[in-house]
Amino acid sequence: MGFFTTLESRVREIDSLLCVGLDPHPDDLEVQTAEAARDFCLRLIEATWELAAAYKPNAAFFEALGAEGFAALREVISAVPQGIPVILDAKRGDIASTARAYARSAFDVLEADAITLSPYLGYDSLAPFLERAEKGVFLLCKTSNTGSGDLQDLPLAEGGLLYEKVARSARAWNRRDNLGLVAGATHPEALRRVRRAGGDLWILAPGVGAQGGDPEAALQAGLRPDGLGLLVPVSRGISRADDPHKAAAELAADFRRVRDRLAAGRAHAPRTEAGAHLDLADGLLAAGCIRFGEFTLKSGLKSPIYIDLRRLASHPELLARVAAAYLPLLRELRFDRLAALPYAALPIATAIGLQGGWPMLYPRKEVKAYGTRVDIEGEFEPGERAVVIDDLATTGGSKFEAIEKLTGAGLEVEDVVVLVDRQSGAAEALAAGGYRLHSVLRLDEMLAHWEASGRVSAERIAATRAFLSAG
């Protein structure tokens, strides 16, 4: 059983999203001893255990007290009632051999159920912590501190921000239902983007209370459509209250009220949640836009998957949903006109233009020998900015051909937006040329979703992954 299955069971059992932080800050202790730190935390556990979906002791406050502090931390974790997950807030991150030692310390010596880790060293530094499905990891993604943007907000050549790359990577690495993310409640718009990039992953959202995070904004940005997927840790807001039990109860009740109000609003609103994109992937599968079997490609290779998004023109309702999925990406970009690539993207861009109110043009595949004999169909002025719209990104070759025609006519191009990124080198090739690729869906995300849901057999998923990796 994966860690998050256990966590979700606890959340449902007590109907609470509250994670109680156990931070024996020096200012809260009458004497700076391990015994005082231990007793401080034991009193909090006794006062809040009926309300806590999880506990989060901060290792630093205990380690600062030496060997006795480490022993006190072990006692505190042991005192948490059975069935309530304990997340060790240690923010570890080191090479694999050292990471294995840290994992033994956290999971075998301290007997924590989960730990916070840094992603900076890559997957091999996380692997020792992820080997046991029942032990969880929360990966630092977009942290709550004011300086988090120094590195985490850096833009990537492939498009998006660094923290979004971390979230997408975590989705791919979550093979045992035991990897989640940390995204601060102090940055609700970033939290929203983490939810979108991270899909259904659980998110630990610190920053409510003393750091000033708005719980309603955090819940609105971070909850999954099912009302789960977000754990809100609060430390000083409970420990420094006159009545910690009452403070915890009020927080848990407030989170429930906000969650229920948001759920009621969703029931009467168009679907815009992150999960809607995976529903879109299911729609493409059902419409035959994506098929599995054996197909001969233009190159002569035999492929176990075939993507034909030209079929969208025969499915108007699905086409409208596809167009709507482009809108959030486009609204973050600067452009004057949509530039659709023939032929599959023509109906898509038309639907986008109708929904977003943007004018469209398109570069012809071939120039007519009569009439206007133009390369570009549609009205525009030289110097205007065009965003390239296409259905699929594979190697990027067709995008460069179109961009050459557009720029040759005096248009400026910086961004390419597609429905599906096959992840076959287009992002890298475009970045090398000075262009950014943005995608609604990535093929690895779709495969993982269909594998988890059972919509496509494991054999076909494995064959497709092998084919893609070989290419």
* d(C-alpha 268, C-alpha 186), whole Å: 28
Tokens of 246: 């009452």
* Closest by Cα among 420, 237, 413 to 337: 413
* d(C-alpha 66, C-alpha 231), whole Å: 30
Tokens of 152: 């985490």
Catalytic residues: 91
Tokens of 120: 């900076």
Q: Is the preceding peptide bond at 55 cis, omega within 30 degrees of 0?
A: no
The string of DSSP letters for 160-201 reads SBHHHHHHHHHHHH-SSS-EEEEE-TT-HHHHHHHHHHHTT-
Task: State the amino acid at position 257 in one-letter form.
Answer: R
Structural element, H or E, at residue 406: helix 397-408
**56-to-41, 42, 162, 213, 327 alpha-carbon distances in Å:** 11, 13, 26, 18, 38
Locate tokens 């009632």: which residue? 81
Report residue 177 CA to chain centroid gap.
15
Query: Which residues, at least 6 apart from 205, have a Cβ–Cβ distance to it below 8 Å?
Result: 182, 183, 184, 185, 191, 213, 218, 222, 230, 231, 232, 233
